[in-house]
Structure 1
């Protein structure tokens, strides 16, 4: 019994000494601007991050996110008014044909183990963002500021330090909201 307890605490101590995690996530979702919805149409993103574990179940995170439209958002000017469509449908109500977003993320991550390899996680933090909308290659809106970043997900880790994860992110940037589903890989050392 004493030997099992010592081995268990040695394993826990060894795992906690692996304080650094680097990862990459990619995914897609939809934007909502001033209440008008892209209806989930074609925004893709990538998210690179670094975690430093400062407590057994908590880490600080710094990350860089980029996002851009991946569908053809086409706008035509009819009688001075833009008519914008995606994939031959008129469900995209925003009068813009290009979208780009960049953000620096600072967050705290909480990890809750289910089994030795499986865990759920949650993140909350600040997003220092810059986004722009263009129409016919002319910049129409260029905004920057500080917003709210949230993520919840599941991760799986092998003994060699590599892991995979699936997460849902929400970025609230005032007039702009971006909801995205991500799949990622990471390495702990």
Structure 2
């Protein structure tokens, strides 16, 4: 009798980790009880990895391994606010701020999905660590409404070279990190006038 009472007690300790172990024992002990601890471990590992990835990303300090030439860590240290530029069909100007929280001097090159519709200044720029850069996006007057995007390409800037030079030099060797921005145009300006007559 003693053994069965201790078996009844045992699920209290393990219930949280391996649900269903007590009930599964009658049918097939191996198949049911063994996989579950592995699943529990995998999930907790996953959570841990997600948490550590999240914390390292939000800290904005971009660390990288020696000899690493990728630019992923740079994008983690750069933010663009706001990420969406909204315009009316009459065109206009939208101003954004790019901030470099990383420890590296960066080179920035802006590309756009429609260079006829939008003009960006500056196209090339270098930003020192801890500095920010204003981005001005202008849209011409056009009735065309479509979704466009702006791409902020980022490379590490060694020395004191100009951004254009840095991008030219790395054209074939390193893919830049990129931050995409949405460009949206609406008919708003017209709606304001006709609203009240409806």
TM-score range, shorter chain: under 0.3
Structure number having the greater helix percentage: 2
**Which of structures 1 and 2 has the bigger CA Rg?**
2
Structure number having the greater strand percentage: 1
TM-score under structure 2 length normalisation: 0.27
